[in-house]
Amino acid sequence: MDPALTSQVNSIRLTLQAVEAQVGGGKIQKGALDELKSAVDEIRLRIWAIMSAAAEGSDGLALERFRLRRAIEFCDSLSKEFEDGTMSPTHRECAVLVSVLGKLSTSIGKAKAKSQ
């Protein structure tokens, strides 16, 4: 394995071991563990996408499409949850999400205009 990659993998392992020790000592709250799980899930999915893109021998476009499909799936899922009432619109993060989605829409529009 590449030495730089080995170092990064070891760093991830050490970080997870430190988190495990903190959980064992009762120093981490449940909400923080949810964030950690989400981050680890994201890492796992991105690694899978990187491996798929490398297998395709693509120039990174497969990875971009993967990230876009994940965003679409996530947004579609949230939309359905708001529609059926399983997600509350009262969370303060909802306002941030609306703002970020507006910025994303603007960014996509600008990028499309530049590429034409």
Q: Which tens digit of pLDDT belongs to each residue from 38-91?
A: 888 888 888 887 777 777 776 667 778 878 888 999 999 999 999 999 999 999
pLDDT in tens, 84-110: 999 999 999 999 999 999 999 999 999
Structure-model confidence comparison of residues 31 and 44, the more confident one: 44
Determine the residue type at 77: S
Longest dimension (CA), the chain: 56
Write out the H or E segment, with its range, that includes residue 94.
Answer: helix 93-115
Q: How far apart are CA 24 and CA 74, in angstroms?
A: 32
Q: Where are the beta strands (DSSP E) in the chain?
A: none
Report pLDDT for 92.
Answer: 93
